[in-house]
Chains A and B, each alone.
Chain A
Amino acid sequence: MSIPHLEILAIAVVTAAGCSLVGVFLMLRRMAMLSDAISHAILPGIVVAFFFTHDLASPWLMIAAVLTGLLTVVLVETLTRTRRLKEDAAMGLIFPALFSLGIVLITRYAGDIHLDVDAVLLGELAFAPFDRFVVGGADLGPRHLWVMGGVTLLNLLAVTVFFKELKLATFDAGLAASLGLAPAAIHYGLMALVSVTAVGAFDAVGLILVVALMVGPAAAAYLLTDRLGLLLVLAALLGAVAAGLGFALALWLDASIAGGIAVGVGLVFLVVFLVAPGRGFVAVVLRRRRQRWDFAQVMLAIHLIQHEGGPDEDDESRVEHLHGKHVGWTPAFTARVVGGAEKRGLVELDAGRLRLTDPGREAAGRALSGTGS
């Protein structure tokens, strides 16, 4: 792998890690689509700032973009509060409008701006190694690596310093407020971080990858752990893996690197979605299948207990009753359930009648009292 390739990979990995960190909180606060909204909506801010500075590397672009990002969030919230539109419609109205404005400005004044529409969507990762960060004649590496390194460091710092506050505001905003933690400040602080990350990353990798990297790794990590700290670490790691995988894919196909990394994110999620222990698709299907039998056996025990001592006990405890018209099981299913329940010692078969054993009685009692079967 050549030096430029390594540099591209480094930019992608650092960007992925930085996006994942804020993405986790967006996901937990059920605001994942804000990554889409903010990353699109900052465009006019960038363009207008560029008109004044004529410098894509100017910090003013970053400031303008962050302000536009916050403005988007405030606009959506204000519009929702007027109760004229629901939140999803307010969001779906505002960010395409701002993005359209940005695109029109870029296209109209294409001669003055070295931004083109493809770059907005896709970024220019392939050219990133040519954009050097030079201080006093010394080449310190690709500029994007410094920008995204800074942004990622900022996110890491914010998440570490305000870990407790973010955690509380995310899981219990009411309690956070009563403890004087100002959930609103935390909310807008997080939105500012998302905007900073989006504008930094957007310049390097294009806005679609901003969305993919904020949402995908966080979602995958969420299927692997319950602990917030671990969730953040895993999301950053999975993001980095996806970036590497996607970059390799793009090199192999000689195709768009940003597109490749987005697909890499999708693949990483897909694998986790399928095989994650406990919460993955395969695990869920297997567990549901197993539970179906457990569940049916407990149901049998409860059925017997409900009719125990009643006038219809004799009738209700016949095996045929179970696959009769009442319970609605098939004979094969019934035979398997009864067999299983017998093996587990929940019931005893006595002259065609099922009788509950003490363990069966306890299992039924546990299930009914809600402590699980």
Chain B
Amino acid sequence: MSWLGELFTDYTLRTVALGSASLGLVAGALGAFAVLRRQSLLGDAVSHAALPGIVLAFMLTGAKTPLVLVLGAALAGWTASLLVMLIVRTTRIKLDTALGLVLSTFFGLGLLLMSIVQRSAGAGQAGLDRFLFGQAAALVGDDLKTMAALGALVLIVLVMMWKEFKLLSFDPAFAGALGLPVRFIDIVLTTLLVVAIVIGLQTVGVVLMSAMIVAPAAAARQWTDRLGRLVILSGVFGAASGLTGAVLSSLVPRLPTGPTIILVVTTITVVSLFIAPRRGLLTERLRRGRQRRRVRADSVLADLYRLAAQHADPAQAPHAAEALQTMSAQAGVREGLKQLTEQGLVESDPDGLWRLTDAGLARGAELIGGVS
């Protein structure tokens, strides 16, 4: 294994790239389930709550071994999510309040402990700061190995329990009726989410990690209607933004890693929200506009056909655009005529009068026939 370690330590940038891509991949994939189960804000609570776990793990062991810190983070994140559930179940306090309470007090505890460590431990503690906003440049081979191993584990469990997770997310009551142990599956999925969050903390930071859970999935949801593709795409978006953001922040001075990654992934999400086929807001507006224009052109054509039908030889009877405007309740007669001309359904003579072409006659008969 030592050659592997050497390869990575020698190529800092590669370490950074691989590490942040893999955290993005895992967070994106698991985040898809969190978003579908409306647990976006639970991710926020878990990631903030991980801080005291990290600092305590450091205080107790005096070591900054990645695995120890990650374990501490996971335990604290886990405890926080259990506390949220306990408060919601036993009292009248609602989920949002319980989340805010646990998030802020755990994070406050983390900051309190951190200030103690900073005062007493001297130089050795410097590394803990980076858990706030992340610092990709500080990633080393050991971190990468821990992240890769845990990430792989998460993804393997995800693939193995795919259909259980899918059913739990879609219809937990039906899963229970089938005899599946819903509580157990829920615990496994939540645990995977906690692990996905904590392996990203060092790079993205506790404050912003929740966005790595939400944003890739929110982006991917706009592109597909299938769960499998959603999870894969979400992982890809997460990996791409993790990689881009981390490399950017390593190359550009004074560009903090976590916020940069978040800005990249948010950009992807915003673009997806606008231009994704079918669900994109811009796409939908364009489609609606096209539809509206077609309806308008059709109605102009139908009017022209009705006028022409009063003549013995319909095709030879030209009409002024003004005549059409008086017939039509809709605006945009000229716009409609322009479109119809482009489609070769109408033509105008030098006097500015309009008549139907043969194709226009046929289409008009079709439209009117359809109405009457």
Contacts and interface: CB of A to CB of B under 8 A. Distances in A.
A201 interface: no
Contacts of B229: none
Interface in B99-152: 99-101, 103-116, 119, 132-133
Nearest to A34: B96
29 contacts: A32-B97, A32-B100, A32-B101, A33-B41, A33-B99, A36-B104, A79-B273, A84-B281, A89-B40, A92-B40, A92-B41, A92-B210, A92-B214, A93-B211, A93-B266, A97-B263, A100-B211, A103-B133, A107-B259, A108-B254, A216-B104, A219-B98, A219-B101, A256-B111, A262-B104, A262-B107, A262-B112, A266-B105, A279-B92
Interface string B79-94: 0000000010011111
Interface stretch (A61-69, A206-214, A294-302): A206-214
Contacts of A56: none
B255 interface: yes
A222 B114 contact: no
Contact of B104 (A100, A215, A222): A215
Interface of B: 35, 38-41, 43-44, 87, 90-94, 96-101, 103-116, 119, 132-133, 207-208, 210-211, 213-215, 217-218, 221-222, 254-256, 258-260, 262-263, 266, 269, 273, 279, 281
Contact of A223 (B93, B94, B281): B93
A162 B74 CA distance: 44
A259 B266 contact: no
B112 A255 contact: yes
Nearest to A266: B105
Interface residues of A, number: 60
A100 B259 contact: yes
Contact of A279 (B91, B221, B262): B91
Of B210, B218, B279, most buried by chain A (CB within 10 Å of CB) is: B218
A308 B119 CA distance: 76
A261 interface: yes
A38 to B, nearest CB: 12
Interface of A: 27, 30-33, 35-36, 79, 82, 84-86, 88-89, 91-93, 96-97, 99-101, 103-104, 107-108, 110, 117, 121-122, 208-209, 211-212, 214-216, 218-219, 222-223, 249-250, 253-256, 258-263, 265-266, 269, 273, 279, 281, 284
A168 B326 CA distance: 53
- For the complex of A and B, the 4 pairs showing the least CB-CB separation, nearest first, are A262-B108, A259-B112, A266-B105, A96-B211
A298 B159 CA distance: 49
Contact of B110 (A101, A254, A259): A259
**Chain B interface mostly:** helix
Given A259-B108, A259-B109, A96 B210 contact: yes
Given A107-B254, A265-B108, A93 B99 contact: no
Nearest to B279: A84
Contacts of B214: 89, 92-93, 96
A22 to B, nearest CB: 13
Given A36-B44, A96-B215, 15 more contacts: A36-B103, A84-B279, A88-B38, A89-B217, A92-B214, A97-B215, A103-B133, A103-B256, A107-B259, A209-B108, A219-B93, A253-B112, A259-B109, A259-B112, A259-B114
